[in-house]
């Protein structure tokens, strides 16, 4: 596997006390250095091009964000720019594109882009939830434009990726599967949001009640996420890797432990091995406890780097009541689309 990493993301600053704080960049720097010392290739990204961004964002929106260059601007109640943010967000989207190129090239079949700011809340024409450009959406559109007929996006960030869903909800070629805390920010991602028009069935939301544990995620992955992916048979798997479902995370209320992030990633790697010769490109989204972020990122990278590692789920000893309820609801909503 390969890591796409730039130290420049440190310069995307947010106000003191903001969860998307610069120290997250130091954690990613340390993780990249550690894997580099173990022989993993680490490359810097180039900025996403206007053409790549225009596949998922409005031209007028790109202009508005570009005008924040050199300025600190409050774009929405949670989302700020610093003078460098525009440039850094271009690098984040570019890193996701580069991870896709690596995965599709066949040389390195999996790649992870260490990026900030995150992207999955960014809408076609609106910054939201710390996100400026929807990097995973840019990556999916880039893959589609470069020969991938079907792209699956899996999002295990604890928040629903409203932007990603909305950008692809009418597109049957891009599957979006999200497991997230509900009710919670941003308020979208209900189980009956299944896609629109020709895209019906290709949005799969699995909302989970607050307090979900390792067993709940295991249940959801084995019963919904993996079976849907196998039936969809993607040419590329993309992963929005957020680590804020971790029990230590200060924002959300889930109780997931570190080994589950490796297990979820390993599940997706196995599906990619089965469906598309291991083509998997991941990028970071949220994750606001620095210790949990470092350990969970290590686990996810380890799962991508070891071709023989199967998923090793931890056990909390707590029964999967939330997971089973979520699976029942997803089965009912998707009865006509998938065999679950």
Residues tagged active-site? 121
- Shortest Cβ distance from residue 159 to Zn ion (Å)? 4
Burial of 10 (0-12, 13-18, 19+ CB in 10 A): middle
Cβ count within 10 A of residue 11: 16
**Cβ contacts of residue 335 below 8 Å, gap of 6+?**
none
Minimum CB distance to Zn ion smaller for 142 or for 159 = 159
Is residue 129 near Zn ion by the rule CB under 5 A? Answer: no
Count each helix (H run) and each strand (E run) in the chain, helices first.
11, 10
Choices 44-52, 137-145, 224-232, 237-245 (CB under 5 A): range interacting with Zn ion: 237-245
Are residues 104 and 236 in contact, defined by beta-carbon separation less than 8 angstroms?
yes
In whole angstroms, give the CA distance from residue 150 to residue 238. 11
Is residue 323 near Zn ion by the rule CB under 5 A? Answer: no
- Shortest Cβ distance from residue 157 to Zn ion (Å)? 4
Minimum CB distance to Zn ion smaller for 104 or for 132 = 132
Helix, strand, or coil here: 196?
A: coil
In whole angstroms, give the CA distance from residue 131 to residue 117. 6
Burial of 234 (0-12, 13-18, 19+ CB in 10 A): buried
Minimum CB distance to Zn ion smaller for 25 or for 276 = 25
Choices 18-26, 134-142, 159-167, 202-210 (CB under 5 A): range interacting with Zn ion: 159-167
Minimum CB distance to Zn ion smaller for 210 or for 340 = 210
For residue 286, give the nearest of 182, 178, 189, 156 by alpha carbon. Answer: 156
Q: Which of 94, 199, 234, 242 binds Zn ion (CB under 5 A)?
A: 242
User: 323 phi and psi, to 5 degrees?
Assistant: -65, -45
Residue 323 CA to its chain's centroid (Å): 20
Is residue 286 near Zn ion by the rule CB under 5 A? Answer: yes
**In terms of DSSP H, where are the helices of 248-333?**
258-276, 290-305, 321-333
Choices 12-20, 52-60, 266-274, 283-291 (CB under 5 A): range interacting with Zn ion: 283-291
- Shortest Cβ distance from residue 189 to Zn ion (Å)? 12
Is residue 157 near Zn ion by the rule CB under 5 A? Answer: yes
Site residue total, Zn ion (CB under 5 A): 5
Minimum CB distance to Zn ion smaller for 78 or for 215 = 78
Is residue 159 near Zn ion by the rule CB under 5 A? Answer: yes
- Shortest Cβ distance from residue 185 to Zn ion (Å)? 8
In whole angstroms, give the CA distance from residue 270 to residue 278. 8
Are residues 151 and 171 in contact, defined by beta-carbon separation less than 8 angstroms?
no
Are residues 180 and 188 in contact, defined by beta-carbon separation less than 8 angstroms?
no
Choices 73-81, 184-192, 222-230, 236-244 (CB under 5 A): range interacting with Zn ion: 236-244
Q: Which residue is nearest to Zn ion (CB)?
A: 286
Choices 23-31, 60-68, 244-252, 328-336 (CB under 5 A): range interacting with Zn ion: 244-252
- Shortest Cβ distance from residue 162 to Zn ion (Å)? 11
- Shortest Cβ distance from residue 206 to Zn ion (Å)? 15
Q: Which of 20, 78, 123, 244 binds Zn ion (CB under 5 A)?
A: 244
For binding to Zn ion (CB under 5 A), which residues are involved?
157, 159, 242, 244, 286
């Amino acid at each position: 596997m390969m890591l796409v990493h730039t130290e420049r993301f440190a310069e995307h600053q947010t106000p003191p006390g903001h969860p998307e704080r610069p120290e997250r960049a130091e954690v990613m720097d340390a993780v990249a250095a550690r894997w580099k010392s173990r022989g993993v290739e680490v490359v810097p990204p180039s900025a996403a091009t206007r053409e790549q961004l225009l596949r998922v964002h409005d031209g007028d929106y790109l202009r508005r964000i570009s005008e924040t260059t050199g300025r600190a601007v409050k774009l929405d109640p949670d989302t700020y720019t610093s003078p460098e943010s525009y440039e850094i967000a271009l690098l984040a989207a570019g890193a996701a594109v580069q991870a896709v190129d690596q995965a599709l090239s066949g040389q390195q079949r999996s790649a992870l882009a260490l990026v900030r700011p995150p992207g999955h809340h960014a809408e076609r024409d609106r910054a939201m939830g710390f996100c400026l450009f929807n990097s995973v959406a840019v990556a999916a559109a880039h893959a589609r434009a470069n020969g991938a007929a079907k792209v699956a996006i899996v999002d295990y960030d604890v928040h629903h990726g409203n932007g990603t869903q909305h950008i692809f909800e009418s597109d049957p070629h891009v599957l979006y599967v999200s497991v997230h805390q509900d009710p919670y920010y941003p308020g979208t991602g209900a189980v009956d949001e299944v896609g629109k028009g020709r895209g019906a069935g290709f949005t799969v939301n699995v909302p989970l009640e607050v307090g979900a544990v390792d067993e709940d995620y295991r249940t959801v992955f084995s019963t919904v996420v993996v079976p849907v992916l196998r039936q969809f048979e993607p040419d590329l798997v993309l992963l929005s890797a957020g680590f804020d479902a971790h029990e230590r995370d200060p924002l959300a209320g889930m109780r997931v432990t570190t080994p589950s992030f490796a297990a979820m990633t390993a599940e997706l790697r196995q599906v990619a091995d089965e469906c598309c010769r291991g083509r998997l490109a991941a990028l970071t989204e949220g994750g606001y406890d620095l210790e949990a972020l470092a350990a969970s990122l290590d686990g996810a990278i380890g799962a991508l780097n070891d071709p023989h590692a199967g998923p090793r789920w931890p056990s909390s000893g707590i029964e999967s009541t939330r997971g089973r309820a979520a699976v029942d609801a997803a089965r009912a909503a998707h009865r006509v689309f998938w065999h679950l």
